[in-house]
Amino acid sequence: MEFRIPFGDWVETGKDWIEDNLDWLLEFLGNLWTGLYDAVNWIFATPPAIAIIIALALAALLARGWKFAVGAVVGLVFIIGVDQWENSMDSLSLVLVAAFLALLAGIPLGIWAARNQTVSNIVKPIMDFLQTMPAFVYLIPAIAFFGVGVAPGIFATVLFAIAPGVRLTELGIRSVDQEVVEAGQAFGASPRRILRQIQLPLAMPSIMAGVNQVIMLSLSMVVIAGMVGAGGLGGQVTRAVSALDIAIGAEAGISVVILAILLDRFTASFGQGMGLYATWAKKRRAKKSDVEQARVDAEHLEVGHPIRSAGAPS
């Protein structure tokens, strides 16, 4: 007698139940994701390419410095030169929407898991499952629920990319020195204020590392999403594989690499405090600190206390 667990049949039954009872929700989500994609794609695809290049070059200058800005311009000009600009903007739009949705769900879930051990125990095996599942498997429910187009590509990408956002957010908050948290509690700060003003700022490098990983995983799904009609560079690579067109495959592949480098450097710079923007922010904080010190000194004068210099013992 052959023994077989009908696990696949159970999954298919669950899929059928979702289609029969939650069709309205699937339609709403599909329209929402497609609308978000169209809006982001309109921002990148409508203006002339030179305008987008100038805007991204300025953003690169603020984020990381002039070397990164020059490299960004060279990479984007190359994309135009191989006639992959429109496809690149389509892929960039899909990546940004999918990463936004993954972070919108992942960061709050990571915060919740860091503050509640029961939630953490439930979330960890789910994230393990999502990370170890082969990426192609996500295309099966994506097509079943949303058909062919951008929506299934976004659905599959979110499932594939959400895990690092959850894990690194939880790790960052749990890694905050408990003495700092206890000091905030001793001064009467509420848990919400401790989270907002102590834990999140100190955990920001880890959270930004999670943002970086989510974006990179989202971009790695571009090619696979092209198999379900998402278009963009993934569609180009898929057609190149089908027709054994090495030229198109190489051009689209290098364009994906350029986008990956740009997105990686952008997100890494925000976590490391680099570029002109970080320099200006430090100057603003220093100026604010000087103003606060001047206010404290003025209050001391008003009450007749001597002004204590910044390095003098209390």
Please indicate, yes or no, if residue 312 is contained in any of the structural domains: no
Instruction: State the amino acid at position 56 in one-letter form.
Output: L
Do 164 and 125 fall into the same domain? yes
What is the pLDDT, as a whole number, of residue 39? 93
Do 256 and 287 fall into the same domain? no
Do 201 and 234 fall into the same domain? yes
- pLDDT tier for residue 122 given thresholds of 50, 70 and 90: very high
- pLDDT tier for residue 73 given thresholds of 50, 70 and 90: very high
- How many C-beta atoms lie closer than 10 Å to residue 49's C-beta? 17
Please indicate, yes or no, if residue 61 is contained in any of the structural domains: no
Give the tens place of pLDDT for each residue, 130-188: 888 888 888 888 888 888 888 888 998 999 999 999 999 999 998 888 888 888 888 88
Please indicate, yes or no, if residue 62 is contained in any of the structural domains: no
Do 267 and 286 fall into the same domain? no
What is the pLDDT, as a whole number, of residue 273? 57
Do 258 and 109 fall into the same domain? yes
Mean pLDDT of 94-100: 92
Give the tens place of pLDDT for each residue, 235-289: 888 888 888 888 888 998 899 899 988 988 888 776 565 555 556 556 666 666 6
- Residue 299 confidence (pLDDT) above 80: no
Phi, psi angle pair for 257, to nearest 5°: -60, -40
All residues at 6 or more sequence positions from 155 whose CB lies less than 8 Å from its CB, including other chains: 29, 33, 138, 141, 142, 145, 146
For residue 286, the enclosing domain spans: 275-306
